[in-house]
Amino acid sequence: MDYPHIITEGNTTYRLGELKGNQVLYSFEKMLKYLEAKGKLMFGDNFKIYEEDHGLLLQLCNYMIRDYDSCKKYGLDPNKGLLLSGPVGCGKTSLMRLLKFLVPYQRPYTVIPSRNLVFGFNHIGYKTISDYGDGQYFCFDDLGVEPLGKHFGKDCNVMGEILLSRYELFVNHQVRTHCTTNLNAKELEERYGKRVRSRMRQMFNLVAFDHNSKDKRK
């Protein structure tokens, strides 16, 4: 029998909670311990979970394990995607790469830099937009700082078009999309327009680091 709250990394087993009947009662402290250990495996021994981020991580962990009661308390909808915002270097990308490992039996998402999709569009054109508008789960990293796309002399706001395709997937097939961004709501609207911004409000839970969060890469 598979137990979603028991995860093995190498020779170490992490028990993220306790089984009570047919429910798992997760422990936030144990999830933090696992995330830090997994982070060191993925990113090196200097990786650490900062205490200042615990409040935000509590929201993200409850979202990932689909704790509906806790999500409701934080104004999160587990059926929407995440839009994780914050200043450069605060740890958005690392967390999104890490968090999916908390729930090994849920369908995983792939983290892709937004600029890579624009480079793909510049090379092969509109097939890139259709490829990323399919039913796979993605996290688009660094949304809003990618360049404008250009293919055979035609400009295209590639990520704006992909987000519109992902909106259709969300509405018709409940496929979630995640993003990280350094931009605020006003900047996102300036970058993608009111139509895309309106769709984003429906697609995403906004979870934000404090704007004074330090650059952890220094």
156-183: pLDDT as tens digits: 999 999 999 999 999 999 999 999 999 9
Residue whose entry in the numeric block shows the structure tokens 């933090």: 32
- Predicted local confidence at residue 8, as pLDDT: 92
Nearest alpha-carbon partner for 183 in 208, 203, 150: 208
Cα–Cα dist 100/108, whole Å: 6
CATH topology of domain 6-208: Rossmann fold (3.40.50)
- Predicted local confidence at residue 1, as pLDDT: 54
* Average pLDDT of every residue of the chain: 94
Question: Between residues 134 and 72, which one has the greater pLDDT?
Answer: 72
Which pTM does this prediction carry? Answer: 0.93
Percent of the chain with pLDDT over 70: 99
H helix or E strand, kind and range, residue 133: none
Is the Cβ–Cβ distance between 183 and 85 less than 8 Å?
yes
Interval 140-153 mean pLDDT: 94
Interval 97-111 mean pLDDT: 94
Is the Cβ–Cβ distance between 27 and 35 less than 8 Å?
no
Contacts of 187 (CB under 8 A, 6+ apart): 144
Cβ neighbours, 10 Å, residue 75? 10
Cα–Cα dist 63/47, whole Å: 23
R_g over Cα of the chain? 18
- Predicted local confidence at residue 160, as pLDDT: 96
Model confidence over 33-87: pLDDT tens digits? Answer: 999 999 999 999 999 999 999 999 999 999 999 999 999 999 999 999 999 999 9
- Predicted local confidence at residue 212, as pLDDT: 78
Interval 140-154 mean pLDDT: 93
Is the Cβ–Cβ distance between 137 and 174 less than 8 Å?
no
Cα–Cα dist 90/110, whole Å: 20
Nearest alpha-carbon partner for 191 in 153, 156, 160: 160
Contacts of 199 (CB under 8 A, 6+ apart): 163, 164, 167
76-88 burial: b if 16+ Cβ within 10 Å, else e: bebebbbbbbbee
Cα–Cα dist 138/154, whole Å: 26
Residue whose entry in the numeric block shows the structure tokens 């404008």: 148
- Predicted local confidence at residue 214, as pLDDT: 79
